[in-house]
Amino acid sequence: MSKKIFITTAIDYTNDVIHIGHAYEKILADVFARFQRNLLGNDNIHYTTGTDEHGTTSQKAAEKNNVSCMDLVTKIYKEDKEQIDSLNISYDRFIRTTDEDHKKQALDFFKKVFDNGDIYKAKYEGYYCEGCEAHKTLSELNEKGQCPNHPTREIQKLDEENYFFRWSKYTRFLKDLIIGNTLVVLPEGKRKEMVAFLDNGLKDITVSRPKYKVSWGITTPIDENQVIYVWFDALINYLTEGIEKGFWDKDTEIIHFVGKDIARWHALLWPAMLKSAGYKVPDLIYIHGFINLNGQKISKSLGNVIRPTELVSQFGVDAVRYYLLKYGPIVEDSDISLDNFISIYNGELANGLGNTVSRIAKLASISEFDFAEYSDPQNVWEKINKKDIDEFRIDKILSQIWKNLSELDHHINEHQPWGIKDQEKLKDILSYEVHEVRKIASAIKPIMPDIYVKISKAFFSGKIQVSDILFPRISG
Ligand code: MSP
């Protein structure tokens, strides 16, 4: 039986509907899951995503909109799900932190850590960014005293009783874990950042907030005047589903996909929490960068938020998946724009993939030959470097396939099948080209599942059909 793999993305705050930046990670994890299922024959994959619904950001958004917290988060959850579904994301569970099974798991987990002596009561005096839902030191704020990630939000000054987690106790454990690669942190630059953070020393961290300040949360099992801190609550979502479905054990490879702003929570806090409660720690954390739009951070206050559905209705789902995966922030931040998308769409999709496939379909469909039947994934590894999947470099995989496509286009121009009279020679040339299209279709199946279906309908039987237009040209 193939190895169990548990794949997760961050769960999104429900103060507002997600934008294309949030969606990027869902696509990345989806493609990894589909590579496993479609090309590596591993059906033992479980993929979760969801919404992080408690805490101050959701509570304040509800107050602002004059609705109850539950009504607001349910509305945003539904809209988020619609956004994610528009991108054809093959998750197995969309988890909400307001789900009953999760609340139960969070309480049980908190109690375990408390019983192990790792939670104690103390006073917190300092800063808090509601956008990050995180306590901040002065050195983490900019010269204007703002959080660099949320400069439009006012920093809160807190002076309150909280329960704290003995995070500092786990410094050595975390160092060994990351330096020894028991927990793999990728890419390498991010791993170094995590180690450097540990070298600076960990301070114990708040894991509850008083109810008179934040009422929207799970009441702690040890004090009814406190709610579980939203990060402590949210991280446990992975375990909730993992345990229920048998994907949180030593036989499972646990992989978290997260953005760079929340790397520490996943690489440093989460493993310490798990260790304290007596659970297996994750195996791998992949940390991606940020998408910027026209050189600016995507943000509501700048008025440049784009939702996935807007792009999908203009370009089609697979074009959006392609563009974000090829030009998105797989390692470093990346800048995208609508103009750039249109030019990539016309150049690499309408022309590159669409035109090459349709030229070959036309030539082969008018020929008298039957071509050998094809069922994937035959020979797909000629097109893809397996190492790129292991390193999550979908961008490199796409570059390689598009290089192949241009070679194929070149092959057609060089051999000019339309002018060949010798039937044997013609069959050789067309068979080669048809088979190349088939292999390319199999290779892009995890990345562009709908386009794969269209190409396979036209190309996978012995008689080649003229294919639908894959990507109608878009005028700028
Ligand atoms: N709720 C927490 C995560 C809890 S996970 C147990 C959170 N939510 S978030 O809505 O702010 O962000 C969700 C994910 O989207 C994070 O991985 C974050 O890095 C990612 N992104 C948010 N904006 C982004 C871009 N502009 N570009 C790429 N990813 C971005 O943090």
CATH of the domain at 373: 1.10.730.10
Instruction: Report which protein residue has its CA nearest ligand 1's atom 15.
Output: 22
Q: What is the pLDDT of residue 469?
A: 92
Q: With pLDDT > 90 as the criterion, what percentage of the chain qualifies?
A: 88
For the Cβ of 10 lying below 6 angstroms from any atom of ligand 1, the answer is yes
Q: Within a domain: residue 321?
A: no
- What's the token pair of residue 147? 């959080």
Q: Within a domain: residue 16?
A: yes
Most informative mutation of 7, 19, 25 for ligand 1 (most atoms within 8 A of CB)? 25
Q: What is the pLDDT of residue 371?
A: 82
Q: How many domains does the chain have?
A: 2
Q: Within a domain: residue 13?
A: yes
Split at pLDDT 50, 70, 90, the class of 374 is: confident
Q: Within a domain: residue 469?
A: no
pLDDT above 70 (res 423): yes
393 near 340, Cβ under 8 Å?
A: no
Please tell me whether residues 349 and 271 are part of one structural domain: no
Please tell me whether residues 152 and 48 are part of one structural domain: yes
More confident residue, 137 or 185: 185
Q: Within a domain: residue 445?
A: yes
Average pLDDT, stretch 40-49? 95
Task: Specify whether 22 is catalytic.
Answer: yes
CATH of the domain at 116: 3.40.50.620
Per-chain mean pLDDT for the chain:
95
Please tell me whether residues 275 and 389 are part of one structural domain: no
Task: Specify whether 19 is catalytic.
Answer: yes
Of 230-239, 358-367, 444-453, where does mean pLDDT reach its minimum? Answer: 358-367
For the Cβ of 451 lying below 6 angstroms from any atom of ligand 1, the answer is no
Of 135-144, 233-242, 368-377, where does mean pLDDT reach its minimum? Answer: 368-377
Note the pLDDT tens digit of each residue in 51-78.
999 999 999 999 999 999 999 999 999 9
Query: Where is the domain boundary, 253, 268, 288?
Result: 288
Which has the closest alpha carbon to 353: 261, 227, 441, 223?
441
Q: Which residues contact 366 (CB under 8 A, 6 or more apart)?
A: none
Please tell me whether residues 252 and 386 are part of one structural domain: no
Please tell me whether residues 280 and 426 are part of one structural domain: no
Please tell me whether residues 343 and 264 are part of one structural domain: no
263 near 285, Cβ under 8 Å?
A: yes
Question: Does residue 277 sit in helix, strand or coil?
Answer: helix
Please tell me whether residues 284 and 355 are part of one structural domain: no
Instruction: Report which protein residue has its CA nearest ligand 1's atom 13.
Output: 12
Please tell me whether residues 283 and 363 are part of one structural domain: no
The conformation of residue 345, written as its DSSP 8-state character, comes to I
Nearest atom in ligand 1 to the alpha carbon of residue 289 is 28
Q: What is the pLDDT of residue 370?
A: 80
Please tell me whether residues 38 and 103 are part of one structural domain: yes
Domain that holds residue 36: 4-288
pLDDT above 90 (res 399): yes
Question: Does residue 300 sit in helix, strand or coil?
Answer: helix
For the Cβ of 405 lying below 6 angstroms from any atom of ligand 1, the answer is no
Average pLDDT, stretch 286-304? 90
Strands 184-186 and 284-288: parallel
Most informative mutation of 22, 80, 132 for ligand 1 (most atoms within 8 A of CB)? 22
pLDDT above 70 (res 122): yes
pLDDT above 80 (res 435): yes
Of 100-109, 361-370, 408-417, where does mean pLDDT reach its minimum? Answer: 361-370
Q: Within a domain: residue 376?
A: yes
pTM for the whole structure:
0.96
Q: What is the pLDDT of residue 468?
A: 81
Q: Within a domain: residue 32?
A: yes
For the Cβ of 233 lying below 6 angstroms from any atom of ligand 1, the answer is no
As to burial, measured by CB atoms within 10 angstroms (0-12 exposed, 13-18 middle, 19+ buried), residue 254 is buried
Task: Specify whether 150 is catalytic.
Answer: yes
Q: Within a domain: residue 96?
A: yes
User: Given 69, 81, 132, 135, which residue is catalytic?
Assistant: 132
Angle formed by the axes of helices 423-444 and 394-415, nearest 10°: 170
What spacing in Å lies between the alpha carbon of 161 and ligand 1's midpoint?
A: 28
Query: Where is the domain boundary, 257, 288, 319?
Result: 288
User: Given 54, 147, 439, 445, which residue is catalytic?
Assistant: 147
Please tell me whether residues 200 and 73 are part of one structural domain: yes
Q: What is the pLDDT of residue 312?
A: 98
Please tell me whether residues 216 and 73 are part of one structural domain: yes
Q: What is the pLDDT of residue 378?
A: 65
Average pLDDT, stretch 265-274? 98
Average pLDDT, stretch 380-395? 92
What spacing in Å lies between the alpha carbon of 27 and ligand 1's midpoint?
A: 13
Please tell me whether residues 453 and 393 are part of one structural domain: yes
